[in-house]
Structure 1
Amino acid sequence: MGGSFRRVENFPNVPETSMHLPVTIEPLEIHKVCLPPNKTAFQAFKQSFSEIFFPDDPLHQFKDQTFLRKLVLGLQYFFPIFQWGPNYSLKLLKSDLISGITIASLAIPQGISYAKLANLPPIIGLYSSFVPPLAYAVLGSSRDLAVGPVSIASLVMGSMLREMVSPLKEPVLYLQLAFTATFFAGVFQASLGLLRLGFIIDFLSKATLIGFMAGAAVIVSLQQLKGMLGIVHFTTKMGFLPVMSSVLSHRTEWAWQTILMGFCFLVFLLVARNVSLRKPRLFWVSAAAPLASVVLSTFLVFIFKAQNHGIKTIGHLEQGLNPPSANMLYFHGPYLGLAVKTGIVTGILSLTEGIAVGRTFASLKNYQVDGNKEMMAIGLMNMAGSCTSCYVTTGSFSRSAVNYNAGSKTAVSNIILASTVLVTLLFLMPLFYYTPNVILAAIIITAVIGLIDFRAAFRLWKVDKFDFLACFSAFFGVLFISVQMGLAIAVGISMLKIVMHVTRPNTVILGNIPGTQIYRNIGHYQEATRVSYFLILAIRSPIYFANSTYLQERILRWVREEEERIQAAKENTLKCIILDMAAVTAIDTSGIGALVELKKTLEKRSLQLVLANPIGEVIEKLHRSKSTETFGLDGIYMTIGEAIASISSLLKEQP
């Protein structure tokens, strides 16, 4: 190993900095670079597997417990309701009762509105606000997540299914595909949690999601112009240009009564939303505004018989509980692929939103949300929903924010929400007969406006131009091509960013901070100075097959540029290149081969290549590949300072 037998010396004049200022090298003890403890192949695999899939070590709580205690802990792990349920009290019920009724006042009109956004019968939105919250209350680990339909998943499901099946011409088939897509979304979500593959959803970066959601919000808002203007014949396409073309080409269908009512209630909803944003204590204003709008508009239509004067209403909605829909799941035929694709896409989107919302509010209350358990809970919730006439649901940000501000303590608030929806389904459905469609359009517009985050986009521009490009591309992809294409662009740019970071890692020149054994980037620290005879390079990433050739070429370029600089400045000739491996967390066979080849190439030019700061896994692989023999005793060191001290000694002894 490098530096196994080194003497301790002081070299006051060697090396010199590139500015000809002497650097005094303190006496250093050259330490041996050791291999990590021997492990069997199974032990190494077990540790790697555990680190990747079980970073939180979920089984630690079962250690040294009796069988009965393990059984109880197992029930609490898979069904969190058994964890907090035994300690539930009337005081907690009071808080959850208030928050549950509050979010129900928002969830009922939103459920009807979002179902129409997905081109589904409005009653499906209410069904989807009954069974899923009950399932989540038993399985979910978040205290604040309020479950139900969400705008993005509704929009994507509606746009994807409508491309191949018309909800007007083939309503039964469309409904079958919606339930089947929900089933596959649940299967996909639960599988990610069961197999602990939640990191897959992290490929949707925050930057791309900001752009995607903003674009989707604009498209959703433009689609609501059909209801806001009273247009009967409207385009089925989702792009900006087709929607605006349809709006302008059907000006003869605009109804001033609808426009007047829609504009007035939209202003009311936006003002209520703004009041709650400015004064969070008045959260109930925006929470109650949608239901108040529904009640008031319904009353006005009923009193003035507005349905006879150009204002279209929801019409008849069936009373009763969710009918079973397991017999409607579509597992064969030409549209099965469409259902699977729609399920996976909407499953990813709803899962991303649900986990992000759950973690956000958990951090505010200082408790943990298990991402994999949440995936299983949301997945099983959607699987159950697909069999009870529900479509894709997840944790809604708007409803969860209202739930949090209303003082919810546990998931019982979801049970209260479901109970309120149950009462509505059983007894209040006839009241929605005169509810105007324009109110649902106004509610949707108000809800999705919050998805347009200008401040976040501006921060992206200031902090990371590539992230801003990703956001920008996703936004315009949704706006001018399609929702699905915008999502594909978002995922593609996220993947491209990962590929760029992996294949083009950063390398920098390090210099010595005078009077210390610290070496830092000379482009960052002005006081850091080059060390004569040496070029010290830091590699800031693992070395894989994907970047090994690039690193080899980039290092040779650094060497060439350094030699040209030395020649121009008439400084001491370059003798040695030191690679700082502290940030190289892993290396594969291609990376090892690249280092060996690089060493041979440099030796032909009378230059020495040494490695410093290799971590355990890297030095272990170098040893197993016998590459340590190639580098020799003078080729691998524990620190940069020890490498410079040792090699300077050898240079001094040379004639």
Structure 2
Amino acid sequence: MAHSSMDEEELETKEIDVGRLQSSRVYAEEVPYVPKVEMPIKQNLFKEITAASKEMFFPDDPLREFKGQPGSKKFVLGLQSIFPIIEWGRNYNLIKLKGDLIAGLTIASLSIPQGIGYAKLANLSPQYGLYSSFTPPLVYAFLGSSRDIAIGPVAVVSLLMGTMLRSVIDPIANPAEYTRLAFTATFFAGITQAALGFFRLGFLIDFLSHATIIGYMGGAAITIGLQQLKGFLGIVNFTPNGDIVSVMTSVFVAAPHGWSWQNILIGASFLIFLLITKYIGKKYKKLFWVSAIAPFTSLVLATFFVYITHAQKNGVQTVSNIQKGINPLSANQLYFTGTNLVSGIRIGVVAGMIALTESIAIGRTFASVNDYQLDGNKEMMSLGVMNLVGSVTSCYVTTGSFSRSAVNYMAGCKTAASNIVMAIIVLLVLELITPVFAYTPNAVISAIIISAVLSLIDIKAAVQIWKTDKFDFLACLGAFIGTVFDSVEIGLLIAVTISFAKILLPFTRPPTAILGNIPTTTVYRDIQQYPEATKVPGVLIVRIDSAIYFSNSNYVRERILRWLTDEETQLNAKNLPRIQFLIIEMSPVIDIDTSGIHSMEELNRSLQKRNVKLVIANPGPKVMEKLHASKFTDLIGDENIFLTVRDAVAKCAPQMLEEV
């Protein structure tokens, strides 16, 4: 009996436990758990500023390699960070030497004729193009972190330098002063580049968008090509301006008696030859060397032809006598006082920034292809030091060349030693054969430059930009038109202006969207992107896709109120229930300032007048902290802040039914 009584008690206890469990389950179903938005942990203000500064200037944690290392190891790592040649030089071998030797010889055959031609673009004597193909590559080989970049003069920077320098000093009337200003601009270009790297401000060069660079480069290529018509056609009196109207006017005014058929014949013949070799190099990748050595081959053949025929006495214009010997020192020629100093700083900063943009873009491209990391700030410092040394050794602004870097890569370069090989070849040319260039026709130099800059016109990329983003295409077109129809400075100014406009536009007119429920789910998405999404009766759900700052806070408030008015108008016309709740999805809102909070307070007051309750879903930690600090959470009530839109709708819908 006792045993039976105990069994009944246990059974009764189990029944009670089961009843409690069932009761708790029913309660859980009736009152589901709704997670709330948590307040972020309050951090020390100094730590917040330090963390933000570190993320801005030191996102790559440059000292990570030094942590936990002994003193001797830190010293070696420090030397390697300054001179990357120490790191890759330890493992250098004959296989790498073979690759660098072939690559160096190949890019030297390309850099010599291009160096002479690009110096003429900068309105400098041809030897300065060769000087700039000797010292800077040597310096970069010791300091640079990219193993693929080929250093030397480039078309766009040369044209930019020539145009800006000529606006200050006439290169024909005062060639010595003009050259001094070029060295001064190069010095300050180096200062600018090194400073950006040292202070880790490399993010500034990212303000030029890809689209504007495509347009600017294309416009510069057209401008460069048009200016080569002087040498190509043998025109003596030619406009110093670079815009298409001035150039074509000079061409047609000189026609036909001012044209030289001898120069045209030489230029056209070698241009066709260069284009054919370029086509062969593109079509058959293994024959890339054909197009790589074609410019030097053209230079040699044209020079030999003029030499044996004495064509320079019969109307063929030739390159002026190139001074023999290596770079003379030029430190004493720099301007450090007067108005020319100001001009040198201005030109140097602009040229240095453009040179950086081109070189960093090239370096990142090849680093991605070869799967290694390129430290942008170190790269800027190495380019800066390179140009500083160049400015005191008779060089003008140099940077990485895309065409020569591509050839360097395809030729099988293994390290930056290919630049050393190239520099040695240029040294031999300067010491031994520069007098021969007196017989080099200008027409062949023009043909070499025209064939080189054609690759800067990327029509395929422009078409892709048009298909992808019309605003980007507008930026691309603006930079192109400004460069072609006015000058490279105006094209650059337009490019920078449009780039900044593209950055600022989302902050002044941020995208916003009305959300609806995807059927059979608890997901809420933009009704424009998902037409099947349905609006929740009596609830307007809006998403703001940007931070809310003083520049856009009024727009956001007015945009939301306009939508609310439109919705109410449509509902009244259909005799449907009015809007009772406005839910703002704030997950994309990464930050909000005091103006934004003030605008939200005004929005709440406007909603109260319309008898509409404001509800917020998923504010981020920074936003939540500021809303709490400003007492805005007290204003709308903590119970009206939810983790998800689904939770907000679930809470609002029953209240709406009760009111109805």
User: Residue deviations 1:588-618, cap 9 Å, x none?
Assistant: 1111111122112111211111111111111
1:237 is aligned to 2:241: yes
Residue of structure 2 in register with 1:87 after alignment: 91
Q: CA RMSD in A?
A: 1.7
Aligned residues of 1:29 and 1:642 also touching (Cα < 8 A): no
Cα deviation, residue 32, structure 1:
2.1
Whether 2:546 is the aligned partner of 1:541: answer yes
What number of residue pairs does the alignment pair up? 635
2: CA distance, partners of 1:161 / 1:598 = 55
Partner of 2:149: 145
* SS of corresponding position for 2:456: coil
Q: Secondary structure of 2:543's match? A: strand
8 A Cα contact 1:9 1:28, kept in partner: no
Q: Which runs of 5+ in 1 are unaligned?
A: 1-7, 12-24
Stretch of structure 1 that moved more, 405-414 or 252-261: 252-261
Aligned twin of 2:396: 391
| 1:33 equivalent in alignment to 2:7 | no
Give the superposition deviation at 1:327.
0.7
- Following TM superposition, the consecutive aligned residue runs of length 4 or more in structure 1 with deviations greater than 6 angstroms are 8-11
Match of 2:187 in 1: 183
SS of match in other structure, 1:391: coil
What's the secondary structure of 2:614's corresponding residue? strand
For residue 228 of structure 2, the aligned residue among 212, 217, 224 is: 224
* AA aligned opposite 1:478: T
Maintained 8 Å contact 2:184/2:344: yes
What's the CA shift for 1:435?
A: 1.0
Partner of 1:559: helix, strand, or coil? helix
**CA radius of gyration, larger in:** 2
Q: Does 1:196 align with 2:200?
A: yes
User: Which letter maps to 2:205?
Assistant: I
CA distance in 1, matches of 2:76, 2:632: 52
What corresponds to 1:169 in structure 2? 173
Per-residue CA deviations over 1:326-376 (Å, capped at 9, x if unaligned) read 111112112222211211111111111101111111111111111111111
Checking the alignment, whether the CA contact within 8 Å between 1:28 and 1:642 is kept in structure 2 is no
Provide the C-alpha distance between the structure 1 equivalents of 2:592 and 2:25, rounded to a whole number of angstroms.
34
Q: Give 1:653 shift.
A: 4.4
Task: Give the AA of the match of 2:486.
Answer: I
Distance 1:9 1:522 in 2: 36
Of 499, 515, 534, the match for 1:529? 534
Partner-residue secondary structure (3-state), 1:147: strand
From the two aligned structures, give the one with the greater helix fraction.
Answer: 2
Question: What is aligned with 1:126?
Answer: 130
| 1:341 pairs with 2:341 | no
Q: CA deviation at 1:10?
A: 10
Match status 1:424 vs 2:468 = no
Aligned pairs (5 A) from 1:469-508? 469-508=474-513
Distance 1:266 1:520 in 2: 57
Matched with 2:12 is none
Please report how far the alpha carbon of residue 572 of structure 1 lies from its aligned counterpart in structure 2 after TM superposition.
Answer: 2.1
Per-residue deviation at 1:155?
0.2
Number of the residue aligned with 2:119: 115
| Pairs within 5 Å for 1:33-52 | 33-52=37-56
- Conserved in 2, the CA contact under 8 Å of 1:510 and 1:536? yes
Write the mapping of 1:324-403 to structure 2, written as runs, cut at 5 A: 324-403=329-408
Distance verdict in 2 for CA 1:253–1:511, change over 3 Å: same
Q: Secondary structure at the match of 2:639?
A: coil
- The alignment's TM-score, normalised by the length of structure 1, stands at 0.95
Match of residue 438 from structure 2: 433
Alignment of 1:515-526 (within 5 A): 515-526=520-531
Pick from 456, 466, 469 the counterpart of residue 464 of structure 1.
469
Q: State the secondary structure of the residue aligned to 2:60.
A: coil
Contact 1:534 1:575 in 2 (8 A): yes
Judging changes above 3 Å, is the alpha-carbon distance between structure 1 residues 507 and 28 closer, same or farther for their aligned structure 2 residues?
farther
Does the 8 Å CA contact 2:571/2:578 hold for their aligned counterparts?
A: yes
Map Cα deviations across residues 48-68 of structure 1 (whole Å, 9 max, x no partner).
111111122222222212122
Which residue is equivalent to 1:54?
Answer: 58
Percent identity, aligned pairs only, is 54
Question: Structure 1 645/527 Cα, relative in aligned 2: closer, same or farther at 3 Å?
Answer: same
**If the length of structure 2 is used for normalisation, what is the TM-score?**
0.94
Structure 1 match to 2:514: 509
Alpha-carbon distance in 2 for matches of 1:59, 1:421 = 38
2:634 to 622, 629, 635: 629
Cα distance in 2 between the residues matched to 1:444 and 1:26: 79
Structure 2: gaps of 5 or more residues:
1-23
Q: Which is bigger in relative contact order (C-alpha 8 A, separation at least 6)?
A: 1
Q: CA deviation at 1:462?
A: 1.3
5 Å-filtered alignment, 1:398-417, equals 398-417=403-422
**Match of residue 207 from structure 1:** 211
CA shift, 1:33, in A, is: 1.3
C-alpha separation in 2, matches of 1:164 and 1:177 = 9
Residue 106 of structure 2 is aligned to residue 99 of structure 1 = no
SS in 1 for 2:90: helix
335-344 or 111-120, larger mean C-alpha shift: 335-344
Q: 1:620 is matched with which residue?
A: 625
Q: Distance in 1 between matches of 2:194 and 2:132?
A: 18
Equivalent pair of 2:214/2:476 in contact (CA under 8 Å): yes
Q: Which moved more, 1:423-432 or 1:239-248?
A: 423-432
Return 138-147 or 520-529, whichever deviates more. 520-529
Q: Which residue of 2 aligns with 1:21?
A: none
Q: String of CA shifts for 1:466-504, please: whole Å, max 9, x gaps.
A: 111111111111111222111111111111122211100
Q: Distance in 2 between matches of 1:642 and 1:143?
A: 55
Contact 1:28–1:645, Cα closer than 8 Å, also in 2: no
Please give the alpha-carbon distance, in whole angstroms, between the structure 1 residues aligned to 2:522 and 2:31. Answer: 11
Deviation at 1:385, TM superposition (A): 0.6
User: Is the CA contact 1:198–1:371 (under 8 Å) kept in the aligned structure 2?
Assistant: yes
Deviations 1:220-245 (A, max 9, x none): 11111110111111111111111111
Determine the C-alpha separation between the residues in 2 that align with 1:603 and 1:540. 24
CA contact (8 A) 1:96 1:412 kept: yes
**Following the alignment from structure 1 to structure 2, what is the Cα–Cα distance between the partners of residues 9 and 190?**
68
What is the Cα deviation at residue 654 of structure 1? 4.3
User: Are the aligned partners of 1:307 and 1:313 in contact in 2 as well (CA < 8 Å)?
Assistant: yes
Counterpart contact for 2:538–2:656, Cα < 8 Å: no
Q: Does structure 1 retain, via aligned residues, the 8 Å contact 2:324–2:430? A: yes
| Secondary structure in 1 matching 2:513 | strand
Indicate if the aligned counterparts of 1:196 and 1:372 stay in contact, CA closer than 8 A. yes
Query: Distance in 1 between the 2:296 and 2:528 partners?
Result: 59
Counterparts of 1:73 and 1:122 in 2: how far apart (Å)?
41
Q: What is the CA–CA distance in structure 1 between the aligned matches of 2:423 and 2:445, rounded to whole Å?
A: 21
Any idea what the Cα deviations from partners look like across 1:443-484, whole Å, max 9, x if unmatched? Answer: 111111111111111112111111111111111111112221
Of stretches 79-88 and 294-303 in structure 1, the one that deviates more from structure 2 is 79-88
8 Å contact from structure 2 (residues 274, 294) kept in 1: yes
Q: Which residue of 1 aligns with 2:161?
A: 157
Q: 1:9 to 1:34 in 2, by over 3 A?
A: farther
CA contact (8 A) 1:30 1:646 kept: no
Paired residue secondary structure (1:609): strand
1:26 to partner: Cα distance: 9.8
Relative to structure 1, the CA distance from residue 308 to residue 563 in structure 2 (aligned partners, 3 Å threshold; closer, same or farther) is: same
Aligned-partner residue type, residue 197 of structure 2: G
Q: How far does residue 568 in structure 1 lie from its aligned partner after superposition? A: 2.3
Query: Relative to 1, partners in 2 of residues 1:70 and 1:308: Cα closer, same or farther, differing over 3 Å?
Result: same
Deviations 1:368-410 (A, max 9, x none): 1111111111111111111110001000000000000000111
- Measured in 2, the distance between the counterparts of 1:92 and 1:154 equals 32
Q: Distance in 2 between matches of 1:654 and 1:86?
A: 80
- The 1:361–1:26 alpha-carbon spacing in structure 2 relative to 1, beyond 3 Å, is farther
C-alpha separation in 1, matches of 2:364 and 2:25: 56
Aligned residue runs from structure 1 range 583-602, under 5 A = 583-602=588-607
**1:448 equivalent in alignment to 2:472:** no
Distance 2:221 2:481 in 1: 12
